Structure 1
């Protein structure tokens, strides 16, 4: 039997985390929690937004507005985080890249006057892909795992340890310490078959990223007071960190903005948590792989499902004159939510987004960013894995949509001139490409 160890402090001591997606539903949920005084500063409650660098510019503006309300009116910390990597020494004296996270503020990144600002040109997304060497796909969303799940997990191990700052990771260096030879050697150890030139090209971006994560103070990334004193968190802290995995892992409530008409997503999340608890009594190959990144004592709270809040009720909430001035400045159809040209939106929706020219680069330049479908086409061509067919001397590409002879996004781009907006609107309503959003699942 797994020891609990969570109840002696009482349920009220268990910290709350609000997973903020950047959309209307999670914002409505957050504002209702704040109004009902359900989030407590003393307990270590906080709000977390994981930036993918592939959101629409209006989403970033909305996140900033909700962050300001949360912190200045209710004094609850709201943190923006980003996936990143750093270089660490290996036992053999070389260097390797490891994944971590960093804190960012709610203003755009600028290397001249805001180095701690959020990225918005796809840099975080590409760093994740370049690090793993594998594109996310409709079958395996490693984008969600890296940029959301693991980023939140790493953040919580620091935040819930009552720390005032997060340590520098990696050694200060302006350039990468990893050589081309190191990249190729590691690829061969794992029986990789890519040519030297291709594997070096795929790793070029991540090696150009900062080689260390700087020391960062939590107080510099929130306007709320940080003054929590939770005995439960102190009990669970060892050497400046808490554990969110294992039999003695910390317990916490995670509030997720899933509507009543999306409740099938809740089933997936609850099953993953159940599987994670099952993994506590298993070892090695017997562990359920899909739950290895899931903290076993996370309690998923979905108050919008309990209150039977559907899409129309969310729209009505934001159309209220008292809140409309804070509303997300995007259409209610949801086409521009989350990563602008996400593969889950399907062919016709992605083409329609591009056709309507609703996705404009944040800095109003001609820079190629995830706001453009051409950015996705470039990423797919650069990072797709080429596999030779066994029966003939032909290659297939393993990309955003699995195996395909052609580059799918580029095909969509090439077809844009032959399609009209009216046809795309009709097709987008019945497109078989469309899949449910599961960035939190």
Structure 2
């Protein structure tokens, strides 16, 4: 007899697999399979060799990896194209102006380690001949140094009146299309943010009398000095004149004038009219006219002041620099962003402008010595800036002295309080409170209603 506490369990019903005939009867050919219908799994060979991966897997299992590979290939291809395009633009500019650099400077480019080439002229020729290049035939790869995919530099030295010349070629981020698109969008929406451009900035440092120290160190005595007066003078493109006045501190000290003999799209920014009469040369005028309004010239500047406004008196020490800023034609053409199409070539008038810019220093050494009246006016502008900075410095020093004095007085007060009894401390604090009340009352009476 079965125990009532336990339930009787029936034997499990055997599961009979559905046959293909049954499935075909339930789901006719061409019909959508109903829920719960049986689909036989794919047959895998029992005796499949270990290397027959295609028998155990299908390409549909690797769709995600396939898409990732396509994306990586696309990104790498765009990056490679952008780097090559920028390198080509920089090399074309150097190739176009190479003859001017070789004619004006004794040493140009960089050595094998990437350092600026400051070898003696004979040593440079010897190294070039050993490398398979003829005399004075400096290859572009040694003239140009790549700091990044968007920045290339050129260095030159070895010339009268010029300590060195540094060229920075700044190019658009063609190797990063997302960042480039963001810069274009920001420049389109906000007027204060400039759009991306391919530009060249040439900075020339005059000796300004510094060669005398080098000659004395070498046991020689110079016959003449390359020193000339401090001043600010610029030839600017009217389309970008306001932009550079806001961005450069030195140009904010000048006034703008139209000048006879210059194209209508140019203006002169200077501190005095006499400076422009003496400084501007016929060679510069002709070079500017050859470049043209759409040639990319932004400004040509001679200045002894800093790019940014000085914040300390030490920063007001005059430091002469000549700067030329131009934009390349590739900046103004959308075709330069399309792969497989060559970018526009450099402006054919650039070498003449670069040559006039370099020789400008020789002209300044001879003529940039102004009358005492002009010299006093220029000096007054710089002295005013120094006085303003000295006033700020004196106020800061006074605040520091007052703060130290207050801290010292507080330490003495705390030391006195620690040496007093409780009653003495109470009387001392009451006297301080009475003094503060009287001091506040005196200040209140002094206020005019």
Check whether TM > 0.5: no
User: What's the TM-score once normalised by structure 1's chain length?
Assistant: 0.18
Could you say which structure has the greater relative contact order, defined with CA pairs below 8 angstroms and 6 or more residues apart? 1
- Which is helix-richer, 1 or 2? 2
User: What's the TM-score once normalised by structure 2's chain length?
Assistant: 0.18
